[in-house]
Chains A and B, each alone.
Chain A
Amino acid sequence: MTDSKYFTTTKKGEIFELKAELNSDKKEKKKEAVKKVIASMTVGKDVSALFPDVVNCMQTDNLELKKLVYLYLMNYAKSQPDMAIMAVNTFVKDCEDPNPLIRALAVRTMGCIRVDKITEYLCEPLRKCLKDEDPYVRKTAAVCVAKLHDINAQLVEDQGFLDTLKDLISDSNPMVVANAVAALSEIAESHPSSNLLDLNPQSINKLLTALNECTEWGQIFILDCLANYTPKDDREAQSICERVTPRLSHANSAVVLSAVKVLMKFMEMLSKDLDYYGTLLKKLAPPLVTLLSAEPELQYVALRNINLIVQKRPEILKHEMKVFFVKYNDPIYVKLEKLDIMIRLASQANIAQVLAELKEYATEVDVDFVRKAVRAIGRCAIKVEQSAERCVSTLLDLIQTKVNYVVQEAIVVIKDIFRKYPNKYESVIATLCENLDSLDEPEARAAMIWIVGEYAERIDNADELLESFLEGFHDESTQVQLQLLTAIVKLFLKKPTETQELVQQVLSLATQDSDNPDLRDRGYIYWRLLSTDPVAAKEVVLAEKPLISEETDLIEPTLLDELICYIGTLASVYHKPPSAFVEGGRGVVHKSLPPRTASNESTESPETAPAGAPTGEQPDVIPTQGDLLGDLLNLDLGPPVSGPPLTTSSVQMGAVDLLGGGLDSLMGDEPEGIGDTNFGAPPPAAPARVGAPIGSGLSDLFDLTSGVGTLSGSYVPPKAVWLPAMKAKGLEISGTFTRQVGSISMDLQLTNKALQVMTDFAIQFNRNSFGLAPAAPLQVHAPLSPNQTVEISLPLNTVGSVMKMDPLNNLQVAVKNNIDIFYFSTLYPLHILFVEDGKMDRQMFLATWKDIPNENEAQFQIRDCSLNAEAVSTKLQSSNIFTIAKRNVEGQDMLYQSLKLTNGIWVLAELRIQPGNPSFMLSLKCRAPEVSQHVYQAYETILKN
């Protein structure tokens, strides 16, 4: 007698038959009928028509029947709200039942019936159950509060359930505590601002006590809740860590990973000199390894998290390389993740083993895996210099296999190796050229063309090779076309005599026969360069390329820190912050690692940089001007990025930069050359950009150079600390922005608060709203010794590439020294962008004011300013806000003013000053209203200083 009989009712009149049975007098028959109904429900059949009949069976002493009816109710109440009311009485009665099991069951089921009308009736029983003498009922009721909150949040708050729930955190029963925590966490998620889980040392202590005694699932809730707490100092952090560590030995992997999250987060607060820090590091390795012996699905999630942990603290698993070796029967998704981690752990010490493994993998069956393995060999070469030679020879062996996709992957990675170690392995070019014909993937073709162009002088028949590609030029993908164009120009610059015809041909193919704007524009640029100044062309096209770094695939540090706070969650699987993908972004709070606050004021010594952190290398995470130029040449192949795409928008430089930043910077270098050169080709249209409309690149130039300006210069805010020493391994940076006689500069003060000498400074800006970029490299002439401070004025220009930032005047800066790279962001005052020729003609002003729609007008009040109209005018003029006209209307002074930003945006202002009233009214009109707020702030700062 099995339940499968419930599936085999006669097809005809099934519902009718069931109805009759449900209304039968015999208990047994009734129960059987309900079972049949449930069975139909499990396979997705709609049996909602039986609602009243099933509900009639609810009044029963038979617990099984009651449970079955409850099951049915939960499924269908939503679709039959009026009928569901019929059940309320029974629920209320059951909540008073002497049997706690029934009380709990009733309150639990009521919460699952998501019908508004029912919730009113639920409140009283719920209140009783929350204070029930039986902990089983209390813990069920705690969850019910969360359910109710989801249906009607206001009701829960009005009824004071939240406070009752908070009281339950101090309950004597650990299971009740765990459920209360879970319910509060859930509610807090939808109210990120509310201070529901007000964690303090006392409540933390209660949670830690409950942690030892509650079920595994409760432990996960408590651990996740602990992870949101920020201990007040390192002692507290250590004591919490000590009490969490035993969870690492739990059989449930979710408990283990939640414990790892808490430890990884709180470790941030511990000084690395502590003995305990080392102990903790040692304790973290075994549980992570153990996760890899679990089921493949668990392994996958664990591996994605280990990938983050390895990036954050490589020292934890550095001796465990072997556990990441791929097993032949691992599912492919596990294999690919393991491979990724192997590369991250590769070091000089274990490179031989890694390479031997990778070589084996490259002969496997699965194509994706093989490709990734070949790429991995390339990454090893780039990461561990000592192994480069061996990697290259391994790759050559693989090329000899002539397996098509292996060859193609190998060529792509060899190109990267050439870039990393120029002039070292070029002897293999001949072998590569043999495989030219077998390449059919764009990436591989582009890589091969790059190699031919780059080493054109060493390849005798480079022109023939490139010419052979040219035949099918229009059938190639854009990537290959761009690469081919550049390669031929390179070839021409190297061997001008023999290749003139070829270069003419490719330039005409690119500019005349192509519909692709990127290709056309690049063609024009080369054409102009070559025709006006071949020497400059040579300097640009054959310029030294920035080295590629091994760590291009690293997750950006700030994102990594955020993801560490999300260990074990979906965010950690996707390597994206939850705000990037959780639907609606509801209740997503930005989490960050706690800052180190030592109780004993031990300052971190710079020697404690993580072992795996790159030192002395040049990881170009944020591209420089140099890169933009590089972009013109050959960098659109991209760095060897693998793994999921990162959210950093700065890593991949698209074709837009070629126009936006690249062209501007090209021309910015030699502005005088532009005015009198007529190319006869239309100037490239400014690419569509998000945010403020930007004037053409050419006019920017004139803004900069034609400025006469007043000598006094704009207001300079005092220097502020931008990068505290604590965050930057001892390097402190403070600074400010100035604008004087048409040039903007960033005045920096670098202080070395570490114990070691700092050298090799460099600075880069991320793309920003107004294209601010360093006009010269950061010049720190002598090494900076400990406790020394140096003042530098870094000239800036506004011809960098543009990306709208939020807030608009946000500037992200990366500073590098011999120790590490550091990132910070700062807000620049907008008035440094006000140009000297911002005085508008009167007529023009009137026309423009009328022309700008009224919805673009913004009004602000400037308070507490005691200057008179005259003084205001003078003061503003020194910061390039020009008064065009002044009127006196009904005793008020009206000043009409204009200013222009570096990117050509005009802002018109009307300033109303009432003598004797310290509050001024400012109305701003601008075609890009988003700048108004910042212009107003500039007024404020200028007038009040």
Chain B
Amino acid sequence: MCLFNVKDGFLEAVVRGYKLGLLTTSDYNNLCQCETLEDIKLYLTGTDYGPFLANEASPMHTTTLVDCCTRKLVADWRYLRENAGEPMGRFLDYCTYGHMIDNVVLIVTGTLHERDVQELLEKCNPLGMFDAIASLAVAQNMRDLYRLVLVDTPLAPYFSDNLTHEDLDEMNIEVMRNTLYKAYLDDFASFVHRIGGTTGEVMGEMLSFEADRRALNITLNSIGTELTRDDRRKLYANFGLLYPHGQAELAVAEDFDQIRSAMEKCPPYQAIFSRLGLGETQMLDKILYEEEVRQLMNTYEQQFHYGVFYAYMRLREQEVRNIMWIAECVAQDQKNRVQDGIVFTY
């Protein structure tokens, strides 16, 4: 705490400044009143997104709006990453490996469906780009994928031997994504605990929520598929509130009620599920997002730790998702549903 500001004090203050520019509830209410995409663009020009939206020509599409907003996040992140010392630089890189995994899976899936590589590259998350990402399209199976491209990236340690014997098809790609993500979460958690101190505590909590959330989503998505219970168990991370007993119960759950009873044995998740009502599954995503945003905003209560950087990235992404939802509702003339999809930050 006393020596944190030597290397990282300036950037912590900068990122807190960025966080002050997040859209508030009144901003979202004003955006919901907009009639066209031009109105949305006009309103957003008065917020922190101004310089990134100002030169866009009308007519606006939702994709251009979302691209401009994402460009702001990328510009902010680049500033932070370029000015970061160590170990903050490594921490910031760790935050982006999740996006790298998503990009790899996107390109591999797109190539499987015979899409054009350039088109896929444009859809990739800019925070997770690396050199040679375009050559992913050349790989025919997982061993090539690893040997040709991924061995030089930070994702290399997350590939284990049993992963590289598979062919690339739909099911195996999803299993690959979740295996990589599990290894990434374990690695990230051990990294922040090595840093220790407030960073270890704050990030430990957020990563365990992320691990539990992914366990829940994997279980929900694999009900009724041919994924065996053991395989499912192998995709859960090795930490989190549900580790190991909750995960053992989740692994054998076959429908939503069993999942719900497994999760409700854990007091924080019982509070979340009690807001859900009986038999509902649609609102689960939104409630999990709200819980995540609540935890992310809580990281700003403490000073002298790295959690605020991770939280800023996640909060901006949530904001871009909100803007996309509002823009889509406006573009498709479904304004009555606009309040359903927004997760308020302030």
The answer to whether A and B assemble together is no
Residues of B within 8 A of A (CB): none
